[in-house]
Amino acid sequence: MVPKKPEARSSGSRSTGSHDDPRFIAVARGHSRRKGIPIPEANPDWLPQARSWYNSLKLSGQSDFYEASDWATAVCAAQMFHDYLRTKSPGILAQFVRLTESLGATISDRKKSRIELEDPNPADADEEAADRAVNDWQLRLVKLWALIRRSRAARPEANSAHRPPEARRPPSPATFLSRRR
């Protein structure tokens, strides 16, 4: 039996349900004008928490995608946050939360909007030194294993029957190294 293809939507249809098929969600494309957009400064009259929140948007990766209207929304949100901190009004807090969601201020908001920020490749300054140290220790253990084997081979009493079987022979280097992982 041949499965039916989902029916294609008209270009004007908008479904907001969880049954949206990503193959049929149209993306409108346009030209960005974000180069040269002046980013507004935080209002000095805002409380420190509101200024800090607004300034954190400038440092966040998603702000690379902000247009002028997004920055205007961020200013409105910061003003609402300032007002909430002064009044503790739940209505103002709800509006602030909605605005921050639309700006992608938290990781869950970005996931809902399908925005993924990549971490810069962290450069580990001492990674090579750590690799050398691990390799040196592995070499020391292999040499130690060989030394133990030679010394036991030289002493017949080391292989006596009164010792448990696992103690009669040291493990091979491969077995020893695989136990570490």
The secondary element (H helix, E strand) that includes residue 116 is none
For residue range 25-54, what is the model confidence (pLDDT) as tens digits? 665 566 666 677 888 899 999 999 999 999
Is 37 in the same domain as 106?
yes
Q: Specify the pLDDT at position 74.
A: 94
Sign of the CA dihedral 88, 91, 92, 96? positive
- Scan for tokens 């400038």, then name that residue: 58
Instruction: Provide the whole-model pTM.
Output: 0.51
Q: Which domain holds residue 173?
A: 136-180
**Do residues 84 and 112 touch, judged by C-beta distance below 8 A?**
no
Instruction: Provide the number of structural domains found in the chain.
Output: 2
- Please indicate, yes or no, if residue 8 is contained in any of the structural domains: no
The secondary element (H helix, E strand) that includes residue 107 is helix 107-112
